[in-house]
Structure 1
Amino acid sequence: MSTPQARPPATRPTAPLQARWQALAPREQNLVLAAGGLVALALLWWVALAPALATLRAAPARHAALDTQLQRMHSLQAEAQQLQAAPRTTPGDTVGALRTALTQRLGNTAQLNVVGDRATVTLKGAPADALAQWLAQARSNARATPVEARLARSAPAAASNAPAPVTLGNGGAPLPRWDGTVVLALPAAR
């Protein structure tokens, strides 16, 4: 049985480093150890601790954003369940509900044209807030879904025949008015 022979110290790959280490004075050895410890602590900070602390600092803001998103999803779910629970309507009822809502919200600034399962609303100077309310009402009451909108801000009308501009909670600035068309998909007859 033969025993493996140990390499002579001069042939080990770490031999020059060990020789250099032994040549250092004890004070220099302590300084090298302290520098190595400082480098190890810096690496530990940059690799392990700093990213974890950054995640902890950002967590409350991220949590608040996710809570807001969750609340929005719950409101959309409630709206979808409400729409599903609503009784079925006939195409005549749908068009009637659209016409009524259009007259109530937009008055003579809009015209409705129904062809098949599509309703096209042509707008001329429709107030932005009234248009938004009408779209919400069309979606909930008539179950019509907007599929296309081509809108442009309308040019300011002449002062002599223009109605007073609408200014709701925006610092007195008039709300925009819109010209264009909105195409709605009507619910399928069942």
Structure 2
Amino acid sequence: MTPKNRKHTPALTARKDPATGLGHRLSATLVGMTPRERQAVLMAAWTVGLALLWWVALGPALNTLRQAPARQAAVDTQLTQMLRMAATAEQVRAQNSTPPPTRRGAQAAIETATAALGAEAQVSVQGDRAILTLRGVAPEALAQWLSQVRVNARLLPIEAQVQRQPNSAGWAGQITLAGPGLGPNN
């Protein structure tokens, strides 16, 4: 293209960058200032820049570092609980891998566990359920009985109506249990 044939087209004209214009105006303003004013403006710009750097980058990072020990302790507590639950689940899974006891085996396990409670407890098996009647049974003994019946007879409580006896440290009431050992197919 020759200079006389050149046309001003929008594609060929240089576009002005707003940042370039701002830079030129800022430079012109700084040149027109006294050295003391220029130094004050530069100090103010550095102060604002450092404040922004702190606000955006350094402050949040330091805050995260300060909170890290507490968060780590909380995560460790959660991990411990989850490992405990996993161990319990694995134990239950191992117990359930064996076939359920027969009806006769479940009844024998119930009677053996109930004999340890003594005269304060009586059990009766009716159909696919076992009903334990309590009269002043100690809480620890009841917890042990429930554990033995759950493991040995594979029975779980489905209903409980127990209350603390006012004159003793024991429980009175009834607990109804059911499970595969007392099912109709056994």
TM-score of the aligned structures, taking structure 1 as reference length: 0.70
Corresponding position: 1:34 with 2:42: no
CA contact (8 A) 2:100 2:154 kept: no
Identity %: 27
- 162, 165, 177: which one pairs with 1:151? 162
- Counterpart in the other structure of 2:172: 179
- 57, 75, 80: which one pairs with 1:44? 57
CA offset at residue 180 of structure 1?
A: 2.0
Larger Rg, first or second structure (1 or 2):
2
Q: Aligned-pair RMSD on alpha carbons?
A: 3.2
The alignment partner of 1:151 has SS state of strand
- Structure 1 unpaired stretches of 5+: 158-175
- 87, 102, 116: which one pairs with 2:127? 116
CA contact (8 A) 1:21 1:29 kept: no
Residue 124 of structure 1 aligns with an amino acid whose one-letter code is R
1:1-190 maps to which residues of 2 (within 5 A)?
1-2=7-8, 3-4=13-14, 6=16, 18=26, 22=30, 25-36=37-48, 37-51=50-64, 54-55=67-68, 57-85=70-98, 87-104=99-116, 106-157=117-168, 176-187=169-180, 188=183, 189-190=185-186
CA contact (8 A) 1:110 1:126 kept: yes
Residue 69 of structure 1 aligns with an amino acid whose one-letter code is M
Distance 1:6 1:67 in 2: 63
Report the number of matched residues: 166
The change in CA–CA distance for 1:43 and 1:109 in structure 2 (over 3 A counts) is same
